[in-house]
Structure 1
Amino acid sequence: MATCLQVAVASCSIPSSSPATFSNRRSIRAFCSVNSRSSAKIPVPLVNPKDPFLKKLASVAANSPETFLYRPSNSDTPPYLDLFDSPQLMATPAQVERSVSYNEHRPRRPPPDLPSLLLHGRIVYIGMPLVPAVTELVVAELMYLQWMDPKEPIYVYINSTGTTRDDGETVGMETEGFAIYDAMMQLKNEIHTVAVGAAIGQACLLLAAGTKGNRFIMPHAKAMIQQPRVPSSGLMPASDVLIRAKEVIINRDILTELLAKHTGNSVETVASVMRRPFYMDSTKAKEFGVVDKILWRGQEKIMADEYSCNCCYER
Protein backbone atom coordinates (compact mmCIF):
# COMPACT_ATOMS: atom_id res chain seq x y z
CA MET A 1 0.00 0.00 0.00
CA ALA A 2 2.91 2.36 0.70
CA THR A 3 4.27 1.68 -2.79
CA CYS A 4 0.88 2.50 -4.26
CA LEU A 5 0.70 5.84 -2.45
CA GLN A 6 4.27 6.79 -3.35
CA VAL A 7 3.58 6.15 -7.01
CA ALA A 8 0.40 8.21 -6.81
CA VAL A 9 2.23 11.17 -5.26
CA ALA A 10 5.08 10.92 -7.76
CA SER A 11 2.65 10.99 -10.68
CA CYS A 12 1.06 14.16 -9.30
CA SER A 13 4.28 16.23 -8.88
CA ILE A 14 4.03 19.89 -10.09
CA PRO A 15 6.46 21.07 -12.76
CA SER A 16 8.99 23.64 -11.40
CA SER A 17 8.95 25.68 -14.64
CA SER A 18 5.45 27.03 -14.10
CA PRO A 19 4.99 27.81 -10.36
CA ALA A 20 2.23 30.43 -10.93
CA THR A 21 0.09 28.29 -13.20
CA PHE A 22 -1.64 26.53 -10.38
CA SER A 23 -2.74 28.82 -7.65
CA ASN A 24 -5.05 26.84 -5.51
CA ARG A 25 -5.69 23.36 -4.18
CA ARG A 26 -8.58 22.62 -6.55
CA SER A 27 -6.45 23.08 -9.64
CA ILE A 28 -3.74 20.90 -8.11
CA ARG A 29 -6.26 18.11 -7.56
CA ALA A 30 -7.53 18.45 -11.11
CA PHE A 31 -4.00 18.30 -12.49
CA CYS A 32 -3.18 15.26 -10.42
CA SER A 33 -6.36 13.53 -11.56
CA VAL A 34 -5.65 14.20 -15.24
CA ASN A 35 -1.99 13.35 -14.94
CA SER A 36 -2.61 10.10 -13.07
CA ARG A 37 -5.23 8.91 -15.52
CA SER A 38 -3.09 9.73 -18.51
CA SER A 39 -0.02 8.03 -17.14
CA ALA A 40 0.53 4.28 -16.78
CA LYS A 41 -1.79 2.37 -14.48
CA ILE A 42 -0.70 2.57 -10.87
CA PRO A 43 0.41 -0.87 -9.63
CA VAL A 44 -1.91 -2.21 -6.94
CA PRO A 45 -0.36 -4.50 -4.33
CA LEU A 46 -1.77 -8.03 -3.96
CA VAL A 47 -4.30 -8.06 -1.17
CA ASN A 48 -6.87 -10.49 0.14
CA PRO A 49 -10.00 -9.93 -2.00
CA LYS A 50 -12.15 -11.01 0.95
CA ASP A 51 -10.87 -8.15 3.09
CA PRO A 52 -13.28 -5.22 2.41
CA PHE A 53 -10.98 -2.58 3.93
CA LEU A 54 -7.87 -3.39 1.89
CA LYS A 55 -9.95 -3.97 -1.20
CA LYS A 56 -11.50 -0.50 -0.87
CA LEU A 57 -8.13 1.19 -0.33
CA ALA A 58 -6.62 -0.53 -3.35
CA SER A 59 -9.57 0.53 -5.50
CA VAL A 60 -9.29 4.17 -4.40
CA ALA A 61 -5.52 4.20 -4.91
CA ALA A 62 -5.93 2.92 -8.45
CA ASN A 63 -8.82 5.15 -9.53
CA SER A 64 -8.46 8.37 -7.47
CA PRO A 65 -4.91 8.77 -6.13
CA GLU A 66 -5.55 12.46 -5.35
CA THR A 67 -7.64 11.28 -2.42
CA PHE A 68 -4.46 10.33 -0.58
CA LEU A 69 -2.57 13.59 -1.24
CA TYR A 70 -4.34 15.80 1.29
CA ARG A 71 -5.63 13.75 4.21
CA PRO A 72 -7.58 15.52 6.98
CA SER A 73 -5.41 16.11 10.04
CA ASN A 74 -7.97 14.87 12.54
CA SER A 75 -6.32 12.69 15.19
CA ASP A 76 -9.69 11.45 16.49
CA THR A 77 -10.46 9.59 13.25
CA PRO A 78 -8.41 6.53 12.32
CA PRO A 79 -6.72 6.94 8.92
CA TYR A 80 -8.61 6.14 5.73
CA LEU A 81 -11.85 5.10 7.46
CA ASP A 82 -13.59 8.11 5.94
CA LEU A 83 -13.55 6.25 2.60
CA PHE A 84 -16.44 4.14 3.86
CA ASP A 85 -19.97 5.33 4.22
CA SER A 86 -20.36 3.61 7.61
CA PRO A 87 -16.91 2.54 8.77
CA GLN A 88 -16.58 -0.22 11.37
CA LEU A 89 -13.45 -0.57 13.44
CA MET A 90 -13.78 -4.33 14.07
CA ALA A 91 -15.99 -7.09 12.73
CA THR A 92 -17.93 -9.37 15.03
CA PRO A 93 -16.48 -12.86 15.60
CA ALA A 94 -19.15 -14.38 13.38
CA GLN A 95 -18.02 -12.19 10.50
CA VAL A 96 -14.31 -13.01 10.76
CA GLU A 97 -13.15 -15.11 7.81
CA ARG A 98 -10.94 -18.06 8.64
CA SER A 99 -7.77 -18.35 6.63
CA VAL A 100 -7.52 -20.76 3.73
CA SER A 101 -4.61 -22.57 5.35
CA TYR A 102 -6.90 -23.53 8.25
CA ASN A 103 -9.93 -24.53 6.22
CA GLU A 104 -8.04 -26.78 3.86
CA HIS A 105 -7.08 -29.07 6.76
CA ARG A 106 -10.56 -29.32 8.24
CA PRO A 107 -12.39 -32.65 7.58
CA ARG A 108 -15.08 -32.38 4.93
CA ARG A 109 -17.35 -34.76 6.85
CA PRO A 110 -17.62 -35.95 10.48
CA PRO A 111 -15.21 -38.71 11.49
CA PRO A 112 -16.64 -42.23 11.81
CA ASP A 113 -17.50 -43.72 15.19
CA LEU A 114 -15.16 -46.12 16.96
CA PRO A 115 -16.93 -49.40 15.96
CA SER A 116 -16.68 -48.31 12.32
CA LEU A 117 -12.95 -47.68 12.67
CA LEU A 118 -12.46 -51.11 14.27
CA LEU A 119 -14.59 -52.71 11.58
CA HIS A 120 -12.25 -51.24 8.97
CA GLY A 121 -9.49 -53.32 10.60
CA ARG A 122 -11.76 -56.43 10.60
CA ILE A 123 -12.12 -56.22 14.39
CA VAL A 124 -15.39 -56.95 16.21
CA TYR A 125 -15.40 -55.85 19.84
CA ILE A 126 -17.92 -57.31 22.30
CA GLY A 127 -17.62 -55.10 25.36
CA MET A 128 -21.11 -55.30 26.88
CA PRO A 129 -23.50 -57.96 28.19
CA LEU A 130 -25.24 -59.89 25.44
CA VAL A 131 -28.48 -57.95 25.09
CA PRO A 132 -30.50 -57.77 21.83
CA ALA A 133 -28.86 -54.50 20.69
CA VAL A 134 -25.36 -55.97 21.08
CA THR A 135 -26.35 -59.18 19.31
CA GLU A 136 -27.81 -57.25 16.40
CA LEU A 137 -24.63 -55.21 15.95
CA VAL A 138 -22.22 -58.15 16.28
CA VAL A 139 -24.11 -60.42 13.88
CA ALA A 140 -24.40 -57.61 11.33
CA GLU A 141 -20.67 -56.86 11.56
CA LEU A 142 -19.77 -60.54 11.10
CA MET A 143 -21.94 -60.85 8.00
CA TYR A 144 -20.57 -57.60 6.58
CA LEU A 145 -16.95 -58.68 7.04
CA GLN A 146 -17.62 -61.98 5.31
CA TRP A 147 -19.25 -60.14 2.42
CA MET A 148 -16.27 -57.81 2.16
CA ASP A 149 -13.71 -60.64 2.05
CA PRO A 150 -14.61 -64.30 2.73
CA LYS A 151 -10.94 -65.30 3.03
CA GLU A 152 -9.42 -62.79 5.43
CA PRO A 153 -9.70 -63.66 9.17
CA ILE A 154 -12.01 -61.83 11.55
CA TYR A 155 -10.78 -60.78 14.99
CA VAL A 156 -13.32 -60.91 17.83
CA TYR A 157 -12.27 -59.23 21.09
CA ILE A 158 -14.43 -60.26 24.05
CA ASN A 159 -14.93 -58.45 27.36
CA SER A 160 -18.43 -59.44 28.37
CA THR A 161 -20.34 -60.94 31.27
CA GLY A 162 -22.58 -62.87 28.90
CA THR A 163 -26.31 -62.74 29.42
CA THR A 164 -25.91 -61.69 33.07
CA ARG A 165 -24.38 -58.74 34.87
CA ASP A 166 -21.43 -59.03 37.21
CA ASP A 167 -23.85 -59.29 40.15
CA GLY A 168 -25.59 -62.27 38.55
CA GLU A 169 -28.79 -60.52 37.44
CA THR A 170 -30.09 -61.75 34.09
CA VAL A 171 -30.14 -59.07 31.39
CA GLY A 172 -30.62 -61.14 28.22
CA MET A 173 -31.92 -64.45 27.01
CA GLU A 174 -29.54 -67.33 26.34
CA THR A 175 -30.56 -67.19 22.69
CA GLU A 176 -28.54 -63.96 22.34
CA GLY A 177 -25.31 -65.91 22.82
CA PHE A 178 -26.50 -68.76 20.62
CA ALA A 179 -27.33 -66.29 17.83
CA ILE A 180 -23.76 -64.94 17.76
CA TYR A 181 -22.38 -68.48 18.03
CA ASP A 182 -24.42 -69.70 15.05
CA ALA A 183 -23.34 -66.67 13.01
CA MET A 184 -19.70 -67.47 13.77
CA MET A 185 -20.16 -71.08 12.74
CA GLN A 186 -21.74 -70.11 9.42
CA LEU A 187 -18.90 -67.86 8.34
CA LYS A 188 -16.31 -68.99 5.83
CA ASN A 189 -13.63 -66.85 7.48
CA GLU A 190 -11.31 -67.89 10.25
CA ILE A 191 -12.42 -66.44 13.60
CA HIS A 192 -9.63 -65.28 15.90
CA THR A 193 -11.01 -64.75 19.40
CA VAL A 194 -9.23 -62.76 22.11
CA ALA A 195 -10.37 -62.51 25.75
CA VAL A 196 -9.68 -59.14 27.37
CA GLY A 197 -11.01 -58.53 30.85
CA ALA A 198 -13.62 -61.26 31.27
CA ALA A 199 -15.47 -63.86 29.25
CA ILE A 200 -18.31 -65.18 31.39
CA GLY A 201 -21.08 -67.66 30.57
CA GLN A 202 -22.15 -67.33 26.96
CA ALA A 203 -19.18 -65.03 26.29
CA CYS A 204 -16.88 -67.89 27.31
CA LEU A 205 -18.61 -70.08 24.73
CA LEU A 206 -17.91 -67.47 22.04
CA LEU A 207 -14.27 -67.36 23.13
CA ALA A 208 -13.93 -71.15 22.84
CA ALA A 209 -15.78 -71.20 19.49
CA GLY A 210 -12.95 -69.49 17.64
CA THR A 211 -10.83 -71.30 15.07
CA LYS A 212 -8.59 -73.88 16.74
CA GLY A 213 -5.10 -72.50 17.19
CA ASN A 214 -6.33 -68.91 17.06
CA ARG A 215 -8.05 -68.57 20.43
CA PHE A 216 -6.17 -66.19 22.71
CA ILE A 217 -6.44 -64.73 26.20
CA MET A 218 -4.68 -61.82 27.81
CA PRO A 219 -2.48 -62.62 30.83
CA HIS A 220 -4.85 -61.13 33.42
CA ALA A 221 -8.16 -61.91 31.75
CA LYS A 222 -10.70 -64.25 33.34
CA ALA A 223 -12.93 -66.92 31.87
CA MET A 224 -15.88 -68.42 33.69
CA ILE A 225 -18.58 -70.94 32.83
CA GLN A 226 -21.82 -71.25 34.75
CA GLN A 227 -25.32 -72.57 34.39
CA PRO A 228 -27.95 -70.37 32.77
CA ARG A 229 -30.25 -68.59 35.20
CA VAL A 230 -33.99 -68.30 35.26
CA PRO A 231 -35.12 -64.75 34.42
CA SER A 232 -37.18 -62.89 36.97
CA SER A 233 -40.61 -64.48 37.09
CA GLY A 234 -42.38 -61.65 38.91
CA LEU A 235 -46.08 -62.42 39.33
CA MET A 236 -46.13 -65.19 36.72
CA PRO A 237 -48.32 -68.24 37.38
CA ALA A 238 -46.62 -71.40 38.63
CA SER A 239 -47.20 -73.17 35.31
CA ASP A 240 -45.38 -70.41 33.42
CA VAL A 241 -42.48 -70.54 35.87
CA LEU A 242 -42.22 -74.30 35.26
CA ILE A 243 -42.15 -73.71 31.49
CA ARG A 244 -39.33 -71.19 31.89
CA ALA A 245 -37.41 -73.54 34.13
CA LYS A 246 -37.62 -76.30 31.54
CA GLU A 247 -36.33 -73.92 28.87
CA VAL A 248 -33.38 -72.97 31.06
CA ILE A 249 -32.51 -76.65 31.55
CA ILE A 250 -32.58 -77.18 27.77
CA ASN A 251 -30.27 -74.19 27.29
CA ARG A 252 -27.96 -75.55 29.98
CA ASP A 253 -27.67 -78.89 28.20
CA ILE A 254 -26.96 -77.19 24.85
CA LEU A 255 -24.32 -74.97 26.45
CA THR A 256 -22.69 -77.99 28.07
CA GLU A 257 -22.51 -79.90 24.79
CA LEU A 258 -21.07 -76.94 22.88
CA LEU A 259 -18.43 -76.25 25.52
CA ALA A 260 -17.44 -79.93 25.54
CA LYS A 261 -17.13 -79.86 21.75
CA HIS A 262 -14.87 -76.80 21.62
CA THR A 263 -12.77 -77.46 24.73
CA GLY A 264 -12.12 -81.14 24.02
CA ASN A 265 -13.54 -82.27 27.38
CA SER A 266 -16.28 -84.77 27.98
CA VAL A 267 -19.84 -83.66 28.59
CA GLU A 268 -19.69 -85.11 32.10
CA THR A 269 -16.58 -83.08 32.93
CA VAL A 270 -18.10 -79.83 31.73
CA ALA A 271 -21.40 -80.54 33.50
CA SER A 272 -19.51 -81.30 36.72
CA VAL A 273 -17.56 -78.03 36.78
CA MET A 274 -20.63 -76.03 35.74
CA ARG A 275 -22.60 -76.96 38.85
CA ARG A 276 -21.12 -73.88 40.47
CA PRO A 277 -19.44 -70.87 38.80
CA PHE A 278 -16.10 -72.13 37.50
CA TYR A 279 -13.54 -69.33 37.26
CA MET A 280 -10.37 -69.74 35.22
CA ASP A 281 -7.37 -67.48 34.92
CA SER A 282 -5.36 -67.43 31.70
CA THR A 283 -3.38 -70.55 32.63
CA LYS A 284 -6.42 -72.58 33.70
CA ALA A 285 -8.35 -71.49 30.62
CA LYS A 286 -5.55 -72.81 28.44
CA GLU A 287 -5.39 -76.08 30.38
CA PHE A 288 -9.16 -76.54 30.20
CA GLY A 289 -9.14 -75.99 26.43
CA VAL A 290 -11.01 -72.70 26.27
CA VAL A 291 -8.06 -70.96 24.59
CA ASP A 292 -4.90 -72.03 22.79
CA LYS A 293 -2.41 -69.29 23.64
CA ILE A 294 -1.77 -66.59 26.23
CA LEU A 295 -0.85 -63.21 24.79
CA TRP A 296 1.77 -61.11 26.55
CA ARG A 297 4.44 -58.65 25.49
CA GLY A 298 7.77 -60.13 24.47
CA GLN A 299 6.64 -63.71 24.06
CA GLU A 300 7.61 -63.82 20.38
CA LYS A 301 11.27 -63.06 21.17
CA ILE A 302 11.42 -65.55 24.04
CA MET A 303 9.85 -68.31 21.93
CA ALA A 304 12.25 -67.56 19.09
CA ASP A 305 15.25 -67.74 21.45
CA GLU A 306 13.99 -70.99 22.92
CA TYR A 307 13.49 -72.45 19.46
CA SER A 308 17.01 -71.50 18.41
CA CYS A 309 18.47 -72.99 21.61
CA ASN A 310 16.60 -76.25 21.04
CA CYS A 311 17.92 -76.42 17.49
CA CYS A 312 21.50 -75.93 18.71
CA TYR A 313 21.02 -78.59 21.41
CA GLU A 314 19.70 -81.14 18.90
CA ARG A 315 22.72 -80.59 16.71
Structure 2
Amino acid sequence: MNSIWNSAASLSSGLKGLGYIVGSDEEERSEKQNNVENIIEKQFLEQRKIIISSAINQKIAEKTIKSLFLMEGLDNTKPITMIINSPGGDVFSGFAIFDIMRAIKSPVITLVAGFAASMGSIIMLGSKKGKRYATRNSKILIHQPLIGGFFEGRATEIEIQAKEIQETKDRIINLYVEETGKSREDIAKDVEMDYWMTAEQAKEYGLIDKIISSMDEVV
Protein backbone atom coordinates (compact mmCIF):
# COMPACT_ATOMS: atom_id res chain seq x y z
CA MET A 1 0.00 0.00 0.00
CA ASN A 2 2.85 2.36 0.88
CA SER A 3 4.42 1.74 -2.51
CA ILE A 4 1.19 2.88 -4.22
CA TRP A 5 1.16 6.15 -2.26
CA ASN A 6 4.86 6.68 -2.94
CA SER A 7 4.29 6.15 -6.67
CA ALA A 8 1.35 8.58 -6.65
CA ALA A 9 3.37 11.20 -4.82
CA SER A 10 6.25 10.75 -7.26
CA LEU A 11 3.89 11.09 -10.25
CA SER A 12 2.28 14.19 -8.80
CA SER A 13 5.69 15.75 -8.20
CA GLY A 14 6.75 14.98 -11.74
CA LEU A 15 3.58 16.45 -13.23
CA LYS A 16 4.01 19.62 -11.20
CA GLY A 17 7.50 19.93 -12.57
CA LEU A 18 6.11 19.68 -16.09
CA GLY A 19 3.39 22.26 -15.36
CA TYR A 20 0.47 19.84 -15.67
CA ILE A 21 -1.09 20.65 -12.29
CA VAL A 22 -3.71 23.35 -12.89
CA GLY A 23 -3.45 24.87 -9.43
CA SER A 24 0.29 25.30 -9.76
CA ASP A 25 -0.08 26.81 -13.23
CA GLU A 26 -2.71 29.28 -12.02
CA GLU A 27 -0.55 30.32 -9.09
CA GLU A 28 2.37 30.94 -11.43
CA ARG A 29 0.22 33.00 -13.79
CA SER A 30 -1.19 34.96 -10.87
CA GLU A 31 2.30 35.65 -9.54
CA LYS A 32 3.46 36.83 -12.97
CA GLN A 33 0.40 39.06 -13.29
CA ASN A 34 1.08 40.58 -9.87
CA ASN A 35 4.69 41.20 -10.85
CA VAL A 36 3.60 42.96 -14.04
CA GLU A 37 1.09 45.10 -12.12
CA ASN A 38 3.75 46.01 -9.55
CA ILE A 39 6.12 47.08 -12.33
CA ILE A 40 3.39 49.21 -13.94
CA GLU A 41 2.48 50.81 -10.60
CA LYS A 42 6.14 51.60 -9.96
CA GLN A 43 6.41 53.25 -13.38
CA PHE A 44 3.30 55.34 -12.74
CA LEU A 45 4.67 56.33 -9.34
CA GLU A 46 7.91 57.50 -10.93
CA GLN A 47 5.95 59.41 -13.59
CA ARG A 48 3.66 60.86 -10.87
CA LYS A 49 0.51 59.59 -12.56
CA ILE A 50 -2.64 58.12 -10.98
CA ILE A 51 -5.37 56.38 -12.97
CA ILE A 52 -8.97 56.05 -11.79
CA SER A 53 -10.57 53.66 -14.26
CA SER A 54 -13.42 52.06 -12.33
CA ALA A 55 -16.37 52.87 -10.11
CA ILE A 56 -15.38 54.98 -7.12
CA ASN A 57 -15.65 53.19 -3.79
CA GLN A 58 -13.86 53.09 -0.45
CA LYS A 59 -11.09 50.82 -1.76
CA ILE A 60 -10.39 53.08 -4.76
CA ALA A 61 -10.45 56.15 -2.51
CA GLU A 62 -7.96 54.59 -0.10
CA LYS A 63 -5.58 53.59 -2.90
CA THR A 64 -5.84 57.00 -4.58
CA ILE A 65 -5.31 58.95 -1.37
CA LYS A 66 -2.30 56.81 -0.43
CA SER A 67 -0.79 57.51 -3.86
CA LEU A 68 -1.40 61.25 -3.49
CA PHE A 69 0.30 61.37 -0.10
CA LEU A 70 3.17 59.19 -1.29
CA MET A 71 3.88 61.38 -4.33
CA GLU A 72 3.59 64.53 -2.24
CA GLY A 73 6.07 63.08 0.24
CA LEU A 74 8.58 62.35 -2.52
CA ASP A 75 8.40 65.88 -3.96
CA ASN A 76 5.66 68.37 -3.18
CA THR A 77 6.77 70.83 -5.87
CA LYS A 78 6.18 68.58 -8.88
CA PRO A 79 2.66 68.11 -10.29
CA ILE A 80 0.64 64.91 -10.03
CA THR A 81 -1.45 63.92 -13.05
CA MET A 82 -4.71 62.11 -12.34
CA ILE A 83 -6.24 60.36 -15.37
CA ILE A 84 -9.99 59.75 -15.02
CA ASN A 85 -12.14 57.22 -16.86
CA SER A 86 -14.89 56.50 -14.36
CA PRO A 87 -18.68 56.02 -14.18
CA GLY A 88 -18.72 57.67 -10.75
CA GLY A 89 -19.70 55.93 -7.56
CA ASP A 90 -19.88 56.51 -3.83
CA VAL A 91 -20.35 60.17 -2.89
CA PHE A 92 -18.34 60.04 0.34
CA SER A 93 -15.41 58.23 -1.29
CA GLY A 94 -15.44 60.71 -4.17
CA PHE A 95 -15.40 63.73 -1.88
CA ALA A 96 -12.62 62.13 0.19
CA ILE A 97 -10.43 62.04 -2.93
CA PHE A 98 -11.51 65.59 -3.88
CA ASP A 99 -10.67 66.98 -0.43
CA ILE A 100 -7.19 65.42 -0.32
CA MET A 101 -6.44 66.65 -3.85
CA ARG A 102 -7.17 70.15 -2.58
CA ALA A 103 -5.35 69.64 0.73
CA ILE A 104 -1.92 68.46 -0.45
CA LYS A 105 0.82 70.89 -1.49
CA SER A 106 1.60 69.16 -4.78
CA PRO A 107 -0.29 70.71 -7.72
CA VAL A 108 -2.74 68.21 -9.21
CA ILE A 109 -3.65 68.01 -12.89
CA THR A 110 -6.77 66.13 -14.00
CA LEU A 111 -7.18 64.57 -17.42
CA VAL A 112 -10.41 62.91 -18.55
CA ALA A 113 -9.68 60.11 -21.01
CA GLY A 114 -12.92 58.28 -21.76
CA PHE A 115 -15.53 59.72 -19.46
CA ALA A 116 -15.97 61.34 -16.07
CA ALA A 117 -19.50 60.71 -14.89
CA SER A 118 -21.20 61.74 -11.67
CA MET A 119 -18.55 61.64 -8.89
CA GLY A 120 -15.96 61.23 -11.60
CA SER A 121 -16.74 64.80 -12.65
CA ILE A 122 -16.41 65.95 -9.03
CA ILE A 123 -12.93 64.40 -8.79
CA MET A 124 -12.10 66.06 -12.10
CA LEU A 125 -12.80 69.39 -10.38
CA GLY A 126 -10.34 68.50 -7.61
CA SER A 127 -7.60 70.18 -9.63
CA LYS A 128 -7.45 73.95 -9.70
CA LYS A 129 -8.81 75.99 -12.62
CA GLY A 130 -6.38 75.95 -15.52
CA LYS A 131 -5.32 72.39 -14.74
CA ARG A 132 -8.32 70.45 -16.09
CA TYR A 133 -7.96 68.64 -19.38
CA ALA A 134 -9.86 66.15 -21.52
CA THR A 135 -9.05 64.12 -24.60
CA ARG A 136 -11.07 64.98 -27.69
CA ASN A 137 -13.50 62.04 -27.55
CA SER A 138 -14.15 62.18 -23.81
CA LYS A 139 -17.56 62.83 -22.26
CA ILE A 140 -18.61 64.40 -18.97
CA LEU A 141 -21.80 63.70 -17.01
CA ILE A 142 -23.24 65.84 -14.24
CA HIS A 143 -26.40 65.03 -12.28
CA GLN A 144 -27.86 65.05 -8.80
CA PRO A 145 -27.06 62.21 -6.34
CA LEU A 146 -28.61 58.87 -7.26
CA ILE A 147 -30.30 56.80 -4.57
CA GLY A 148 -30.68 53.07 -5.11
CA GLY A 149 -33.45 50.85 -3.72
CA PHE A 150 -36.17 52.37 -1.59
CA PHE A 151 -36.47 54.04 1.78
CA GLU A 152 -37.28 51.74 4.66
CA GLY A 153 -37.55 52.49 8.36
CA ARG A 154 -39.26 54.77 10.83
CA ALA A 155 -40.57 58.12 9.62
CA THR A 156 -37.87 59.99 11.54
CA GLU A 157 -35.13 57.89 9.92
CA ILE A 158 -36.55 58.56 6.46
CA GLU A 159 -36.62 62.29 7.21
CA ILE A 160 -32.96 62.16 8.23
CA GLN A 161 -32.04 60.30 5.03
CA ALA A 162 -34.00 62.75 2.90
CA LYS A 163 -32.25 65.67 4.61
CA GLU A 164 -28.84 64.10 3.97
CA ILE A 165 -29.69 63.58 0.28
CA GLN A 166 -30.78 67.21 -0.08
CA GLU A 167 -27.63 68.47 1.67
CA THR A 168 -25.48 66.35 -0.65
CA LYS A 169 -27.34 67.67 -3.69
CA ASP A 170 -26.84 71.25 -2.49
CA ARG A 171 -23.14 70.62 -1.92
CA ILE A 172 -22.72 69.26 -5.45
CA ILE A 173 -24.68 72.14 -7.01
CA ASN A 174 -22.65 74.69 -5.03
CA LEU A 175 -19.41 73.11 -6.23
CA TYR A 176 -20.47 73.19 -9.88
CA VAL A 177 -21.56 76.83 -9.46
CA GLU A 178 -18.25 77.80 -7.86
CA GLU A 179 -16.10 76.00 -10.43
CA THR A 180 -17.99 76.93 -13.62
CA GLY A 181 -19.20 80.43 -12.79
CA LYS A 182 -22.72 79.52 -13.91
CA SER A 183 -25.79 80.56 -11.95
CA ARG A 184 -27.24 78.30 -9.31
CA GLU A 185 -30.54 78.24 -11.21
CA ASP A 186 -28.85 76.97 -14.38
CA ILE A 187 -26.87 74.28 -12.56
CA ALA A 188 -29.88 73.14 -10.52
CA LYS A 189 -31.89 72.76 -13.72
CA ASP A 190 -29.12 70.89 -15.56
CA VAL A 191 -28.50 68.31 -12.82
CA GLU A 192 -32.17 67.38 -12.47
CA MET A 193 -31.57 64.75 -15.16
CA ASP A 194 -28.43 63.16 -16.61
CA TYR A 195 -26.61 65.96 -18.43
CA TRP A 196 -24.02 64.56 -20.84
CA MET A 197 -21.46 66.80 -22.50
CA THR A 198 -18.81 66.29 -25.15
CA ALA A 199 -15.33 67.58 -24.38
CA GLU A 200 -16.06 70.72 -26.38
CA GLN A 201 -19.37 71.29 -24.57
CA ALA A 202 -17.69 70.69 -21.19
CA LYS A 203 -15.10 73.31 -22.07
CA GLU A 204 -17.80 75.82 -23.01
CA TYR A 205 -19.64 74.93 -19.79
CA GLY A 206 -16.54 75.74 -17.75
CA LEU A 207 -15.84 72.25 -16.44
CA ILE A 208 -12.54 71.75 -18.29
CA ASP A 209 -9.92 74.17 -19.53
CA LYS A 210 -8.38 72.50 -22.56
CA ILE A 211 -8.95 69.63 -24.99
CA ILE A 212 -5.74 67.81 -25.83
CA SER A 213 -4.47 65.54 -28.58
CA SER A 214 -1.03 64.95 -27.05
CA MET A 215 0.29 64.58 -23.50
CA ASP A 216 2.80 67.29 -24.40
CA GLU A 217 -0.13 69.73 -24.13
CA VAL A 218 -0.64 68.90 -20.44
CA VAL A 219 1.29 71.48 -18.44
Q: TM class by shorter-chain length?
A: 0.7 to 0.9
Distance in 1 (CA, whole Å) between partners of 2:214 and 2:101 is: 28
**Residue of structure 1 aligned with 2:138, choices 213, 221, 229:** 221
Aligned to 2:165: 248
**Residue of structure 1 aligned with 2:115, choices 167, 188, 198:** 198
2:92 aligns to what SS in structure 1?
helix
User: Are 2:41 and 1:124 aligned?
Assistant: no
User: Are 2:51 and 1:134 aligned?
Assistant: no
Unaligned runs of 5+ in 2: 1-13, 18-34
2:147 aligns to what SS in structure 1?
coil
Higher helix share: 2
Residues 266-296 of structure 1 deviation map (CA, whole Å, 9 limit, x = unaligned):
2222112111111100110000011000012
Q: Is the 8 A contact 1:209 1:262 kept in 2?
A: no
1:228 aligns to what SS in structure 2?
coil
Aligned to 2:70: 144
Q: Is the 8 A contact 1:230 1:244 kept in 2?
A: no
Aligned to 1:309: none
Q: Is the 8 A contact 2:152 2:158 kept in 1?
A: no
1:206 aligns to what SS in structure 2?
helix
RMSD: 2.5
The higher radius of gyration belongs to: 1
The alpha carbon displacement at 1:177 in A equals 1.1
Runs of 4+ aligned structure 1 residues displaced above 4 Å come to 297-300
Aligned to 2:190: 273
Q: 1:113 to 1:245 in 2, by over 3 A?
A: farther
Unaligned runs of 5+ in 1: 1-91, 95-109, 164-171, 301-315
Q: Which amino acid aligns with 1:192?
A: I
The alpha carbon displacement at 1:214 in A equals 1.8
Residues 71-93 of structure 1 deviation map (CA, whole Å, 9 limit, x = unaligned):
xxxxxxxxxxxxxxxxxxxxx9x
Higher strand share: 2
1:142-221 matched pairs, under 5 angstroms: 142-163=68-89, 172=90, 174-221=91-138
Q: Is the 8 A contact 2:134 2:208 kept in 1?
A: yes
Distance in 2 (CA, whole Å) between partners of 1:246 and 1:119 is: 41
Distance in 1 (CA, whole Å) between partners of 2:215 and 2:62 is: 37
2:168 aligns to what SS in structure 1?
helix
Residues 75-125 of structure 1 deviation map (CA, whole Å, 9 limit, x = unaligned):
xxxxxxxxxxxxxxxxx9x7xxxxxxxxxxxxxxx5525333312210011
Q: 1:127 to 1:202 in 2, by over 3 A?
A: same
The normalised TM-score by structure 1 is 0.55
Percent identity, please: 27
The alpha carbon displacement at 1:241 in A equals 2.8
1:1-315 matched pairs, under 5 angstroms: 110=35, 112-163=38-89, 172=90, 174-233=91-150, 235-297=152-214
Distance in 1 (CA, whole Å) between partners of 2:52 and 2:179 is: 20
1:242 aligns to what SS in structure 2?
helix
